[in-house]
Amino acid sequence: MAGQDRVIVAPGDTLPDDVQGKEPYVIDIGGKKVATVVGLLDLRGEKPNFIPLLHVYVPKPGDVVIGLVSSIGVMNWFVDINSPYAAVLTAQDFLGRPYNPLTDDLTRYLKVGDYIKAKVVAFDRSRNPLLTVNGEGLGKITEGKIVEIQPAKVPRVIGKKKSMLNMLESETGCQIFVAVNGRIHILCPNKDLESIMVLAIKMIEREAHTVGLTERVQKYIQELKKIKGIGEA
Partner 1 sequence: MGGKAQVRLIDEFGRRHDGRLPEEMRPVRMQVGVLDNSDGSAIVEYGKTKVIAAVYGPREPVQRFMVLPDRALLRVRYHMAPFSTWERKSPAPSRREVELSKVIREAFEDIVLVKLFPRTTIDVFIEVLQADGGTRTAAVTAASLALADAGIPMKALVAGVAVGKIDGVLVLDVDEIEDGSGEADLPVAAAPDIGKITLFQLNGVLTEEELSKAMDMALSAIRQLVELEKKALKEKYAFSREVRSE
User: Which among 82-90, 106-114, 131-139, 213-221 is the span making contact with partner 1, rule CB under 8 A?
Assistant: 82-90
| Contact status: 4 vs partner 1 (CB under 8 A) | no
| Distance in Å, CB of 9 to partner 1, minimum | 8
From the list 179, 152, 157, 181, the residue with the least C-alpha distance to 169 is 157
Residue among 8, 43, 112, 122 that touches partner 1 (CB under 8 A): 8
Q: Is 55 in the site for partner 1 (CB under 8 A)?
A: yes
Task: Quote the CA–CA distance of 78 and 89 in Å, as a whole number.
Answer: 6
For partner 1, give the closer residue by CB, 25 or 115.
Answer: 25
Q: Is 233 in the site for partner 1 (CB under 8 A)?
A: no
On the 0-12 / 13-18 / 19+ scale of CB atoms within 10 A, 89 is: buried
Amino acid letter, residue 74: V
CA distance 81 to 101: 25
125 binds partner 1 (CB under 8 A): yes
Please select the residue that binds partner 1; options are 15, 19, 21, 25, rule is CB under 8 A: 25
- Give the residue from 54, 137, 69, 150 showing the smallest Cα distance to 109: 69
Which C-beta is closer to partner 1: that of 13 or that of 192?
13
- Please answer whether residues 115 and 138 qualify as being in contact, where contact means their C-beta atoms are separated by less than 8 angstroms: no
How near is the Cβ of 24 to partner 1 at its closest, in Å?
A: 5
**Candidate residues 119, 140, 145, 209; the one interacting with partner 1 per rule CB under 8 A:** 209
Residue 199 is a binding residue for partner 1 (CB under 8 A) = no
Query: Which C-beta is closer to partner 1: that of 55 or that of 145?
Result: 55
- The verdict on 1 binding partner 1 (CB under 8 A) reads yes
Peptide bond into 61 cis (omega under 30): no
**Member of 64, 68, 75, 86 binding partner 1 (CB under 8 A):** 86
Q: Is the dihedral of CA 55, 205, 153, 62 positive or negative?
A: negative
Of 228, 221, 187, the closest CA to residue 201 belongs to: 221
Structure-derived torsion over alpha carbons of residues 129, 122, 152, 50, reported in degrees to the nearest 10: -130
**Letter for the amino acid at 222?**
Q
Taking the least distance from each CB to partner 1, the nearer of 10 and 112 is: 10
**Residue number with CB closer to partner 1 (114 or 207):** 207
List contacts with partner 1 (CB under 8 A): 1, 8-14, 24-25, 27, 29, 34, 36-38, 52-56, 84-86, 125-126, 150, 152, 209
